[in-house]
Amino acid sequence: MQDNFLKIRNLRTYFFTRRGVVKAVDGVDIEAKRGKLTALVGESGCGKSVTGLSIMGLIPSPVGKIVEGEILFEDKDLAKLSYKEMADLRGKDISMIFQEPMTSLNPVLTIGHQVGEPLRIHSSLSPEEITERVLSILDLVGIPEPRSRLKSYPHQLSGGMRQRVMIAMAMICGPKLLIADEPTTALDVTIQAQILDLMLELMKKINTSIILITHDLGVVAEVCDEVNVMYAGKIVEKSDVFSIFDNPSHPYTWGLLRSIPRIGKKGKAKKLYTIKGVVPNLLDPPSGCRFADRCDKARDICREEEPPFTTIEEGHFVKCWLFA
Amino acid sequence: MEKEKSLAHETLFEDVIRAFKENKTALFGLIVVVILVVLAIFAPYVTPYDPYEIDLNNRFLKPSLNHWFGTDMFGRDLFTRVIYGARISLAIGLIPSLIAVSIGAVLGVISGYVGGRLGYWVMRMADVVMAFPSLLLAIVVMYTLGATLFNLFIALSVVGWAGAARVVRSQTLSIREKEFIEAAKAIGVKDFKIMAKHVFPNCLPSLMVLFTMSIPDAILSEASLSFLGVGAQPPTPSWGLLVSNGKEFLFSAPWVAILPGLAILITVLAFNFIGDGLRDAIDPYLKG
Amino acid sequence: MENALISTKNLTKIFHLSTGPLGRKKVFVHAVENVNIDIASRETLALVGESGCGKTTLGRLILRLIEPTKGEVLFKGENIFSLDRERMRSLRRDMQIIFQDPYASLDPRMRILDILAEPLKTHNKDMSKREIVERVKELLSVVGLQEFVMSGFPHQFSGGQRQRIGIARALALNPEFIVCDEAVSALDVSIRAQILNLLMDLKERFNLTLLFITHDLSVVSFISDRIGVMYLGKCVEIGPTADIFDHPLHPYTLFLLSAVPIPDPHARDRAKLILEGDIPSPVNVPSGCRFHTRCPYLRDVCVSEEPQMQYIGNRGFACHFPLY
């Protein structure tokens, strides 16, 4: 495996709430390769966003806490950096974009000001140089007439344009890693296609690696290189994108893929495949495999002991007793 | 956070219990109020003295074991008068607040839900009431109707409803846009029922906070009015009146004014603590 | 259409908003304009389109939850906007709605029993308490929930369970027609499949006619018999699902279909058509054909003249230069 410049080992991020400890991320291993688009896919509450926030050091303390594990980025362990050291990294080497571009932008500051913000923090460029850089990045993310947009406020832009501004802000320092948390979920399909296209283009131009957090397997299939499927706080299957879609092996991955209606399929299917039941409560997750209660193929051992990661093809790992 | 949201709240009652469990100042407030209520109800059993009995031989006695708060200019036991005064202050705190909040709730829900011209005029009326200095307005009412306890209730209600109406209206405006209201309309539920069954119960938590918060206001207003001589009339042992009577002897017998003043302070603080605690416990529910 | 259960005639809704200082400036939002569609008895018509296209407003108009600016909605040949209050109320038994957000559509302060009893009490004054409870139990079992659910509050249930409760409420009065407004959009993939299957079952079992409003085209291909495509308040294309997916006639439909991500990485290199630009605001609608600002096949007449809906067999389209 070449050049895993981000390695997450046994990450556990817990939330200590009134009702008990929510084990949102419970022993997650992820690698991201340089120049690749790595997907973290799962349903709501599976811990994918919390994993992203853990990398960014943005877990709301004191409720949430990384209790174990390491996040190796190049040669630093992000989980052990001080707040100050992490702040120096954020926006410069690692940046993040979120689902909701309206609430992620400050409504009372101009676009030009906000996009230039990371440069003001992380560089010693003069205001004129910063404006130049802002103009060129706005142009790069496809905002028409960037000069006239410098003085605009977020509410004057459409949803798609706001997400472009967010991307410009995240990309202006040329980060090595971009974490995109459901960047297209709030957008219309035709706009989503534009933004995904833009992200792929920027990845090549700025030489950034991306971790894409999403629930949409369609988006994953369209743009990602590597896929990590997450369920109830754990990674259950990981592989390159072709192998996982051609040969989905964990019953959860398999079920998910089967339960999406396919567009334009001739002759309507009578029924969709469904995964029975609901996701387990992370306050009190089942012992053994967390998917066991919903799995058709579950045996006794599945409920008793957590399955290990098993290699089924080169680079394709599954956490399931069927293969162990 | 996503996580927090899934840990949904239970009923309103449980929210309230939690408010007192987790918030120590609110619990303190509650304890003070409970003690006060018990003292007020069982006043004749708590103290051997009569609040009205004049004993000119024992004027201005300093606080002692026999007279915990000392005696006033007519030799009446001050502790007894403060406890009997609690009856008045609590009644003044609770009854006009309840009336004001109820009027405000009804007008607020109607004005927010129905909107249009009716809603407009209700709110303009509230604006007018709120634009008046409330103490002045209360004084005007008291002068016109006469200084009795009953009129005091009316005066404080007249002053208090506007704030409640405003809060309830803005809440109603946001509830009105919720899908469950649209669902009720799609079913064919009549507007009056939608207001009573859906809008009002969803305003209830903030009404509770509003109610608790307006109690200390009312107690203070009563104290101010009585102090100014347009509230309760002597010899009623109202706290405001006690302070007012004591002020002439502030240097010779400071306890006569200061101890009833302390009673006002502690009571108002206690209710404010409770209100703050309730708001903290209930607010996240309103947001989510 | 001969056996239409519902037809709209020039249905138009223009919202008036006041903006600017002191609310002096009036703004007109053209939410729905001159829409003519028919829904046949027992069919499922899907209404698709992106944000601001007016599909939700159209659904509300058809149920008379809002009053139109002009036009008619005929339910079994009778214009519902000419009905008085009482007759409209009794007509509501026959037409119901299922909402998108299972968190906002159930009153948080009511028990499930009361939520499901509300339609029964509203329309059947002589029903006894026991009969109501019996009916509620029956409804819960129809949507696949257990009886104990009755005594709970909405927040105690998951998104999928709440959506089932919402469906049960819509079914309570045995309606003929149900509007499903983005009814599965807020749900996770595995839960969405369960709810879609349930809706299909119920449709068969109770001979329902459905208007399925959604932005998700993959869902459409599974559930609907016909599709109406909307763009900026207009219906631009309507026809049988399979025909539209195979061979769209309106350029917008073509681009919309092409933008949908396909959950198969082998399909990622297909020729993708990405639509340029943003959806115009429904406040300043473009002249002529409303799609002309983004249409790659634009000609002069498209700017000057508005295309009318034309029909070829069972397919309708509003375009000067359809893609034959």
Q: Which pLDDT band holds residue B287 (cuts at 50, 70, 90)?
A: very low
What is the Cα–Cα distance from A246 to A239, expressed in whole angstroms?
11
Q: Which sign, positive or negative, has the C-alpha torsion A174, A178, A184, A189? A: positive
Q: Is the model's pLDDT at A284 over the cut of 70? A: yes
User: For the residues A155-183, what does the mean pLDDT come to?
Assistant: 90
Closest alpha carbon to C81 in C185, C6, C184: C6
C76 neighbors C4 (Cβ within 8 angstroms) = no
> Which residues in A lie closer than 8 A to residue C276 (C-beta atoms)?
194
> Which residues in C lie closer than 8 A to residue B188 (C-beta atoms)?
88-90, 92-93, 119, 122-123
> Which residues in A lie closer than 8 A to residue C200 (C-beta atoms)?
271
User: For the residues B184-213, what does the mean pLDDT come to?
Assistant: 90
Amino acid letter for position B113: Y
Structure tokens at C286: 């473009």
Structure tokens at A28: 């997650």
Q: Given the structure tokens 């400050």, which residue do they identify? A: A106
Write down the pLDDT at residue A229.
96
Closest alpha carbon to A189 in C250, C219, C246: C219
User: For the residues A101-117, what does the mean pLDDT come to?
Assistant: 87
Contact criterion met (CB < 8 Å) for C222 and A275: no
B198 touches chain C (CB under 8 A): yes
Closest alpha carbon to C220 in A261, A86, A123, A58: A261
A283 neighbors A20 (Cβ within 8 angstroms) = yes
Contact criterion met (CB < 8 Å) for C262 and A242: no
Rg, C-alpha atoms of chain A: 21
Q: Supply the angle between the helices B200-228 and B134-145 in degrees, to the nearest 10.
A: 70
Write down the pLDDT at residue C21.
64
- B55 in a structural domain: no
From residue C27, alpha-carbon distances to A273, B171, C16, C20, C35 in Å are 47, 26, 6, 9, 21
B216 neighbors B267 (Cβ within 8 angstroms) = yes
Burial, B56: exposed, middle or buried (Cβ in 10 Å; 0-12, 13-18, 19+)?
A: exposed
Interface test with B, best of C88, C98, C124, C155 (most B CBs within 10 A): C155
Other beta carbons within 10 angstroms of residue A10's beta carbon come to: 11
Give the residues across from A96 on adjacent strands: A179
Structure tokens at A137: 């990045």
- Chains A, C: CB contacts within 8 A come to 131
Structure tokens at B6: 């899934």
What is the Cα–Cα distance from A70 to A84, expressed in whole angstroms?
18
| B167-202 per-residue burial string, b: 16 or more CB within 10 A, e: under 16 | bbbebbeebbebbbbbbbbbbbbeeeebbebbbbbb
B63 vs C298, which has greater pLDDT? C298
Domain boundaries, chain C: 4-94+173-317
Number of H helices, E strands in chain A: 12, 12
Secondary structure string (H, E, C) spanning B195-257 = HHHHHHHHHHHHHHHHHHHHHHHHHHHHHHHHHHCCCCCCCCCCHHHHHHHHHHHCCCCCHHH
Residue A59's closest chain B neighbor by CA? B1
Other beta carbons within 10 angstroms of residue A224's beta carbon come to: 25
What is the Cα–Cα distance from B251 to C100, expressed in whole angstroms?
71
What is the Cα–Cα distance from B244 to B228, expressed in whole angstroms?
8
What 3-state class would DSSP assign to B158?
helix
What is the Cα–Cα distance from A308 to B252, expressed in whole angstroms?
85
User: For the residues A167-188, what does the mean pLDDT come to?
Assistant: 90
Write down the pLDDT at residue B12.
67
What is the Cα–Cα distance from C318 to C35, expressed in whole angstroms?
11
Mean pLDDT by runs of 10 across the 324 residues of chain C is 84 84 77 94 93 90 95 94 93 93 87 94 92 95 92 87 95 95 88 92 94 90 92 94 92 92 88 84 89 91 93 93 87
> Which residues in B lie closer than 8 A to residue A64 (C-beta atoms)?
1, 3
Evaluate the omega torsion of the peptide bond into residue C296 and state whether it is cis, within 30 degrees of 0: no
Domain with B111 in it: what CATH number? 1.10.3720.10
Give the end-to-end CA distance of chain B in Å, rounded to a whole number. 11
What is the Cα–Cα distance from C208 to C101, expressed in whole angstroms?
22
**Stretch among A1-5, B188-192, B266-270 having the lowest mean pLDDT:** A1-5
Q: Is the model's pLDDT at B18 over the cut of 80? A: no
Entry field: residues in chain B: 288
C310 CA to centre of own chain: 23
Write down the pLDDT at residue C122.
93
Domain boundaries, chain A: 4-93+173-261+271-319
Q: Is the model's pLDDT at A108 over the cut of 60? A: yes
**Stretch among A176-190, B62-76, C276-290 having the lowest mean pLDDT:** B62-76
Write down the pLDDT at residue A324.
81
The residues near C300 (Cβ < 8 Å, ≥ 6 apart) are none
Strands A226-231, A37-41: pairing is: parallel
Give the predicted TM-score (pTM) of the model.
0.86
Q: Is the model's pLDDT at A214 over the cut of 90? A: yes
Could you please report the per-residue DSSP string of C61-78? HHTTSS--SEEEEEETTE
CATH topology of domain A4-93+173-261+271-319: Rossmann fold (3.40.50)
Q: Is the model's pLDDT at B13 over the cut of 80? A: no
C152 neighbors C68 (Cβ within 8 angstroms) = no
B254 touches chain C (CB under 8 A): no
CATH 3.40.50.300 fits C4-94+173-317, yes or no: yes
- B106 in a structural domain: yes
Structure tokens at C192: 């969405």
What is the Cα–Cα distance from C113 to C91, expressed in whole angstroms?
24
Structure tokens at A92: 């410069």
Burial, B65: exposed, middle or buried (Cβ in 10 Å; 0-12, 13-18, 19+)?
A: exposed
What is the Cα–Cα distance from C123 to C135, expressed in whole angstroms?
14
Residues in C lying within 8 Å of B, measured between beta carbons: 63, 65, 88-90, 92-93, 95-97, 99-101, 104-110, 118-119, 122-123, 153, 155-156, 166, 169, 173
Closest alpha carbon to C242 in C260, C257, C261: C257
Give contacts of A 3-42 with B, CB under 8 A.
Answer: 15, 17-19, 22, 24
Write down the pLDDT at residue C1.
58
Q: pLDDT per residue over B218-274, tens digit each?
A: 888 888 888 888 877 777 788 888 888 888 888 888 888 888 888 889 998 999 888
DSSP E strand boundaries for chain A: 4-17, 20-33, 37-41, 64-73, 76-77, 94-97, 177-181, 209-214, 226-231, 234-240, 309-313, 316-319
User: For the residues B21-42, what does the mean pLDDT come to?
Assistant: 88
Q: Supply the angle between the helices C112-123 and C129-142 in degrees, to the nearest 10.
A: 120
Write down the pLDDT at residue B3.
32
Average pLDDT, chain B: 83
A182 neighbors A195 (Cβ within 8 angstroms) = no
C121 CA to centre of own chain: 27
Q: Which pLDDT band holds residue B4 (cuts at 50, 70, 90)?
A: very low
ipTM value, please give it: 0.87
Structure tokens at A251: 């019953």
Write down the pLDDT at residue B66.
77
Give contacts of C 73-132 with A, CB under 8 A.
Answer: none
Interface test with C, best of B174, B182, B187, B198 (most C CBs within 10 A): B187
C3 neighbors C41 (Cβ within 8 angstroms) = yes
Alpha helices in chain B (DSSP H): 2-6, 12-22, 24-41, 43-46, 78-114, 116-131, 134-145, 149-176, 179-187, 191-193, 200-228, 239-246, 255-287
Which residue range is the domain that position B259 belongs to?
Answer: 11-42+71-287
From residue A196, alpha-carbon distances to A10, A167, A218, A263 in Å are 30, 11, 12, 19
Entry field: residues in chain A: 324
The residues near A142 (Cβ < 8 Å, ≥ 6 apart) are A164, A194, A198
Q: Is the model's pLDDT at B207 over the cut of 90? A: no
Contact criterion met (CB < 8 Å) for B3 and A22: yes
- For B116-125, the CB contacts below 8 A with 24+ separation are B119/B169, B122/B165, B122/B169, B123/B165, B123/B166, B123/B169, B125/B162
Q: Which pLDDT band holds residue A310 (cuts at 50, 70, 90)?
A: very high
Write down the pLDDT at residue B11.
64
Burial, A302: exposed, middle or buried (Cβ in 10 Å; 0-12, 13-18, 19+)?
A: buried
